[in-house]
Chains A and B, each alone.
Chain A
Amino acid sequence: MKQLSVVVLFSLLSGCNQPQEIATFAALTDRATVEFVSVAHSVVRNCEIIQKTNREKPESIFVTAGPEATANECASSDRAEKALLDSHKVITGYMNTLKLLASDNILITQPADGAIDSLKSGLKISDAQVVALKGLTNAIAKIATDGYRRRELAKMIDMADAPLQAAVTALAEVIEVNIAKDFDATADSLKSYYRRGLRGQDTSTVASILWIEQGEAELAALKEKKEATLGYCRMLKSIAGGHAKLKAANGNFKSAGLVQFLVEAAKSIQAEQLKVERAFASRR
């Protein structure tokens, strides 16, 4: 009878699925979105490139030194970077909360021992029974807490999904349109700078060839950053897609379709994150 009760109760309670898949997805998302700092800073970095190519006067390819851009010349870029980071911070803050709420690390285990000990005398149970009870109560506490977390997660995901989709759409548009154009215009400025240096020069000399190569290398680095930035945009869309699936799951976070989707989304996020890391790691 005792065994049957335990089995029945456990069967009922273990219907509450652990939200570990969400914790993994949110943790990955939280980590990947750190790269946005580089993406946002590219707005300022591009301004510095434009200012530098504007200030230097390559009347000849031998004159390349010139004053660096000062911070106030890129004040509008500083404001744009701040606006981007502030908006993005809200999304990362949310993802971090999602990760914490879904994480197994917040399981209540500490108060359990003390609570059992304080009840021991009142219940008149033996030490052996206390040990058995601890194992059982910890397991039940875990399941009970998971139920609470799952409900809170479902509520939070439901509440945040529509604004999250809207925010990601707006951010993606800024990246795909504004920041992508910013890279193109910076490339135009660089090309013009290197062309200026070659005007009136013999393009077959070693100095000219080195000058051309230097220009090509800088343009290639800029192109790589632009591609990685667009990759970041794809990553944001994967995050939004994953979140929409979580909402659609309506608390049933263990469904095979959802788990499979999150695994695929996580792979895509990781791949794009690596590209962004690589492109912005170099100081070119």
Chain B
Amino acid sequence: MPATVDESAERWADKYNDAANAIADFLDENFDSLVPEDVKEFTKAEKALRKLAKQMRDEAIVFKMEGLNEDLKAISKATERGTKAILKINDVKNGIRIVTGVIKLGVAVVSGNPGAAVAAAKDLAKDLKA
């Protein structure tokens, strides 16, 4: 199975970082025998490799996050649904309608009328579903 862009970028970043570390080790081990110009060139190469490795790691993150988009769309839809539900509860007109139904039910219950209580409970259930 071919590697994805983000996997490739991450792998190359690892290789560049390993190469930079190898140069740093080489400089430590051979510092006394190297001329200053060579030290300068190797140091420059090490820094360039680290910078490139960092950029590749960043790109790998961007690619991976872009791949998440489809899942995130589904979560956004669920959030939208939840928000609508909250708005429905907070909607005063709708709230009054529900509470009115609740009051009718309460009145039916305290008046000791089981038939009216059942009817009011049905109406309330219908309202809550709406």
Q: Nearest Cβ in chain B — how far from A143, in angstroms?
A: 9
Contacts of B55 in A (CB 8 A): 76
Contacts of B85 in A (CB 8 A): 101, 148-149, 152, 156
Contacts of A111 in B (CB 8 A): 92, 95-96, 99
Measured in the bound complex, the distance between the Cα atoms of B89 and A171 in whole Å is: 33
Out of B28, B62, B90, B96, which one reaches A114, CB within 8 Å? B96
Out of A9, A87, A90, A141, which one reaches B99, CB within 8 Å? A141
Q: How many chain B residues have a CB neighbour from A under 8 Å?
A: 67
Q: Nearest Cβ in chain B — how far from A49, in angstroms?
A: 10
Contacts of B92 in A (CB 8 A): 110-111
Q: How many chain A residues have a CB neighbour from B under 8 Å?
A: 79
Out of A101, A110, A166, A174, which one reaches B61, CB within 8 Å? A174
Q: Nearest Cβ in chain A — how far from B127, in angstroms?
A: 9
Q: Which of B1-54 contact A (CB under 8 A)?
A: 10, 13-14, 17, 20-21, 24, 27-28, 31-32, 43, 46-47, 50-51, 53-54
Measured in the bound complex, the distance between the Cα atoms of B99 and A171 in whole Å is: 43
Q: Nearest Cβ in chain B — how far from A115, in angstroms?
A: 5
Measured in the bound complex, the distance between the Cα atoms of B121 and A239 in whole Å is: 38
Contacts of A9 in B (CB 8 A): 105, 109, 117, 121
- Contact call A144/B124, Cβ cutoff below 8 A: yes
- Contact call B128/A147, Cβ cutoff below 8 A: yes
Q: Nearest Cβ in chain A — how far from B82, in angstroms?
A: 4
- Contact call A84/B65, Cβ cutoff below 8 A: yes
- Contact call B51/A51, Cβ cutoff below 8 A: yes
Q: Which of A101-148 contact B (CB under 8 A)?
A: 101, 106, 108, 110-112, 114-116, 119, 123, 125, 129, 132-133, 136-137, 140-141, 144-145, 147-148
- Among A90, A91, A100, A171, the most chain B Cβ lie within 10 Å of the Cβ of A90
Q: Nearest Cβ in chain A — how far from B14, in angstroms?
A: 7
- Among A97, A119, A147, the most chain B Cβ lie within 10 Å of the Cβ of A97
A108/B75 contact (C-beta < 8 A), A9-B109, A181-B14, A192-B24 known: no
Given A47-B54, A76-B58, A106-B89, 4 extra CB contacts under 8 A:
A76-B55, A156-B79, A178-B60, A185-B53
14 A–B contacts from the bound complex (CB under 8 Å): A5-B109, A9-B117, A80-B57, A93-B79, A97-B86, A101-B86, A108-B89, A108-B95, A114-B96, A132-B110, A133-B106, A156-B78, A167-B75, A174-B61
